[in-house]
Chain A
Amino acid sequence: MIGRPDLWASYIWPSYILTIGGLIALLVWSWTAMRRAERRADALKRKS
């Protein structure tokens, strides 16, 4: 049986928050940059 871990005492939450926050920021930045660039490319293709 695994007891309830003390996640604050050993810097566990800070490292998870940092990692998950960093991953979300990287994913959102990559996704929005991709969508913006592809929309611009499609708009220019229709225009020409």
Chain B
Amino acid sequence: MHRYANPTRFLKIARIATPLTLALGLILTIAGLYIGLFASPPDYQQGESVRIMYVHVPAAWLGSGGYLGLAIASATALIWRHPLATIAARAIAPAGAAFSAICLMSGALWGKPTWGTYWVWDARLTSMLVLLFLYLGYLALAAAETERGGERKGAAILALVGAINLPIIKYSVEWWNTLHQGSSISITQGKSAMAPEILTPLLVSVAGFTFLFAAIVLMRMRALLAEQRVEARSRRLAEAVA
């Protein structure tokens, strides 16, 4: 793992992986959403609103999964002080925040026809909103620390502390009596309560969104590394002139 964590080696891989993940993400997302919109049947309980699940569920998974990545990268940066880990954390945060916001907004649009309201202070919804605030807090703190030229330890610690929210999101539907439905898919047991006609477009959308998320993170990492190179070179040029 450390072999690929070298910034130069990482850039070599990222230059190949970026267009690949982007192309795969676009193809799978378009396919998943097309099947979900036009070729899958309505649900026997939710009716047509089930089609919102094909954007809501992948966004929710990536919002939470992205935060897990942010916490792991922050822990790596704090423990091993690896520069690429800090870059990865800073690249994951805006993508994770955007996916969490999409999850909350699409969930509200699903809630109106299904529950009769856009929002309830339900344990799942509230913990997801807390996740969005954690992302925004991380972004604000990381930007402030970058401006001050600090080590960005505060943002990394916030990311780690905020990881306590992940099991709360996951188990909120079991620990509390919530309006939000329980899990329909169990990854550990490989079971699904969904009909294959609904599960297929959902899994295609999840795969597509995941590749797009990876492409966004790779592009952000490449941008941040290039900015670092510009900063270092400008500093060296200024020192040489002085």
Contact partner of B55 (CB less than 8 A), chosen from A9, A15, A41, is: A15
Bound Cα distance from A5 to B46, whole angstroms: 13
Q: A15 contacts B226, CB within 8 Å? A: no
The main secondary structure of chain B at its interface with chain A is helix
Bound Cα distance from A11 to B112, whole angstroms: 8
Bound Cα distance from A22 to B94, whole angstroms: 12
Count of chain A residues near B, Cβ 8 A: 30
The segment from B1-9, B185-193, B229-237 found at the interface with A is: B229-237
Bound Cα distance from A40 to B83, whole angstroms: 21
Could you tell me which A residues sit within 8 Å of B by CB distance?
2, 5-7, 9-12, 14-16, 18-20, 22-23, 26-27, 30-31, 33-34, 36-38, 40-41, 44-45, 48
Extra contacts, 5 of them, besides A12-B51, A18-B106, A37-B230 (Cβ < 8 A), are: A9-B48, A12-B37, A12-B49, A14-B109, A45-B233
5 A–B pairs (Cβ distance < 8 Å), ordered by A: A5-B42, A12-B48, A12-B51, A18-B109, A30-B219
Could you tell me which B residues sit within 8 Å of A by CB distance?
22, 29, 33, 37-42, 47-49, 51-52, 55-56, 59, 94-95, 98, 101-102, 105-106, 109-110, 112-113, 212, 215-216, 219-220, 222-224, 226-227, 229-230, 233-234, 236-237
